[in-house]
Amino acid sequence: MDTATLLPVALALLAIPVTALLLNRLRFGRLPPGPRPWPVLGNLFQIEPVRCRCFAEWAARYGPIMTVWFGSTPMVVVSTPELAQEVLKTHDQHLADRSRNRSSERFSRGGMDLIWADYGPHYIKVRKFCNLELFTPRRLEALRPVREDEVTAMVESVHRAGKEGKPVAVREFLATVGFNNITRLAFGKRFLNAAGELDEQGREFKEIVNNGIKIGASLSIAEHIRWLRWLTPVDEVAYQAHGDRRDRLTVKIMEEHARALERSGTSKQHFVDALFTLRDKYDLSDDTVIGLLWDMITAGTDTTVITVEWAVAELVRNPMVQQKVQEELDRVVGRDRVLSETDFPNLPYLQAVVKESLRLHPPTPLMLPHRASAAVKVAGYDIPKGASVTVNVWAIARDPKAWDSPLEFRPERFLHDNIDIKGCDYRVLPFGAGRRVCPGAQLGINLVASMIGHLLHHFTWALPDGTRPEDLDMMESPGLITFMRTPLQVVATPHLEKEELYKRVAAEM
């Protein structure tokens, strides 16, 4: 083939990316830089499984604000405290909607819950209900015996399993307390029979959760490429059956609470009771009531487990930090009683350990994407209407411009400065910030502090014989939330002498 024939072909091939670039510029404006996308696919096949690390590496190359293409849809990722503040405060009003895929659209009934709702009258109403009714200091204090019951039940289980110095898989015990705690707070039920096994409703609950994960994970690459969706249509029958099953269980539990209320004449403090008794006052639909209860399950079950497992991993790698917490606990609580949440104000180093754990290992390392309801400019770049924006919380926690020795587990940094972790300081954002900050942040902090505090008050933690700190796998698992890739195995040696202090402190409520 001669040069005259090849030239038009070469020019045509060159014209394709140039044309695509010009069309994107006309459609989206001046987007932030980023990895070069493939036609149609965008960057989908370039993204590594642990996205927070992948995006942090790309930010080092392309800058702290960049564009990642999910198919033909741009997502803007920011990775510094200053840019996070611009997204979550300066332009918060126009960047507070929620990007929903086909799965979350159906699970949330079109955003009728809180997590997946767009910012508007519905979101404001539900948010007000959460702030004024669900997560008030009074309600959290009333439910404190439930949390302490479940944490002391965990201590009893660890003590029984860890005898003779056998290593324990700490995640298993944390998962049990996480599940029991959130179901009791939300539904007012401990889904266990007298033998300590899941009862019929508990098994149904677990199956609903697992089935939801399975359905959500079934969506393919076509989720990001609209014109391929005809190849993988959503299984509407499966979504409908899942939703109906979830609703039946929730309504059944609510009816049990209604009958109990009718018999006693007084409402309890569980979240389901608040929703049942106050739904008319706040004009909450059935979809919103059920959606809110399951939002709590989704947001509150695994996140505490993740945080505490990472914390224990850091503590066995840093035995001097563990010793300082235990010395504080022995001094304030003593060795003749168990820890209570009422002790927290007198335990500043324990609180610093909680904050440092949430800084270095945020359970949701990339914020759930926000969606632009109007075109805005961030750092001089265009964020078009409809684009997704996310904050790399994990990368900000490792920014040497924001933190001294950011990779070190150093709780002392929170003793020297009064650093807020509930959305006011953009260097540490485990609960988000702005209009979409997590309303249950204080509940999460209390539970994490209680779990870490009890584990350290009752036990001294160490790696199994022959395992060195540098042998621990400190890599995250892929996913929206990031467990330790390799479940932690540790040895728990009793720290308190009195055997009765390792017993569950049961609370019937």
The residue count of the chain comes to 509
**Exposed/middle/buried for residue 113 (C-beta within 10 Å: 0-12, 13-18, 19+):** buried
Sequential DSSP letters for 428-462: --TT--GGG--TTHHHHHHHHHHHHHHHHHHEEEE
Task: Mean pLDDT check: name the lowest of 196-200, 343-347, 461-465.
Answer: 196-200
The answer on pLDDT for 143 being more than 90 is yes
High-pLDDT (> 90) share of the chain, %: 69
Closest C-alpha among 482, 506, 414, 455 to residue 162: 455
Alpha helices in 164-301 (DSSP H): 170-187, 200-217, 236-264, 271-278, 286-300
- Sequence-distant (≥ 6) Cβ neighbours of residue 66 within 8 angstroms: 32, 33, 34, 35, 55, 58, 59, 76, 77
Instruction: Summarize pLDDT for 162-176 with one digit per residue, the tens.
Output: 887 889 999 999 999
Average pLDDT over residues 341-356: 98
pLDDT of residue 29: 84
pLDDT of residue 222: 63
Closest C-alpha among 261, 455, 232, 454 to residue 340: 454
Cβ 297 vs Cβ 306: under 8 Å = no
d(C-alpha 423, C-alpha 85), whole Å: 10
Query: Which amino acid is residue 186, in one-letter code?
Result: A
The answer on pLDDT for 38 being more than 60 is yes
Instruction: Return the H-helix or E-strand segment holding 11.
Output: helix 3-28
- Helix, strand and coil content of the chain, in percent to the nearest 5, comes to 55, 10, 35
pLDDT of residue 27: 63
- Sequence-distant (≥ 6) Cβ neighbours of residue 81 within 8 angstroms: 396, 399, 402, 425, 426, 427
pLDDT of residue 214: 76
- Taking only Cα atoms into account, the Rg of the chain, rounded to an integer number of angstroms, comes to 25
Average pLDDT over residues 244-254: 90
Query: Which amino acid is residue 275, in one-letter code?
Result: L
Query: Which amino acid is residue 496, in one-letter code?
Result: L
High-pLDDT (> 70) share of the chain, %: 90
pTM of the model: 0.91
d(C-alpha 140, C-alpha 138), whole Å: 6
Q: Tokens 């503040």 sit at which residue?
A: 85
**Can you point out the beta strands (E) in 279-437?**
370-371, 376-378, 381-383, 388-391
pLDDT classification of 219: cutoffs 50, 70, 90 = low
pLDDT classification of 227: cutoffs 50, 70, 90 = low
The answer on pLDDT for 465 being more than 80 is yes
d(C-alpha 195, C-alpha 57), whole Å: 50
Instruction: Summarize pLDDT for 42-63 with one digit per residue, the tens.
Output: 999 999 999 999 999 999 999 9
Mean pLDDT, the chain, whole residue set: 90
pLDDT classification of 2: cutoffs 50, 70, 90 = low
Cβ 222 vs Cβ 71: under 8 Å = no
The answer on pLDDT for 413 being more than 60 is yes
The answer on pLDDT for 213 being more than 80 is no
The answer on pLDDT for 426 being more than 60 is yes
d(C-alpha 358, C-alpha 304), whole Å: 10
pLDDT of residue 21: 47
Task: Mean pLDDT check: name the lowest of 47-56, 96-105, 112-121.
Answer: 96-105
Instruction: Summarize pLDDT for 279-329 with one digit per residue, the tens.
Output: 999 999 999 999 999 999 888 889 999 999 999 999 999 999 999 999 999
The answer on pLDDT for 5 being more than 70 is no
pLDDT of residue 397: 97
Domain residues of the chain, as ranges?
Answer: 121-502
| Residue 18 token pair | 């140039």
- 97 or 507, greater pLDDT: 97
pLDDT of residue 22: 47
Task: Mean pLDDT check: name the lowest of 82-96, 101-115, 185-199, 380-394.
Answer: 185-199
Binding-site residues? 438
The answer on pLDDT for 412 being more than 70 is yes
Binding-site residues for heme? 438
The answer on pLDDT for 485 being more than 90 is yes
Please name the fold of domain 121-502: Cytochrome p450 (1.10.630)
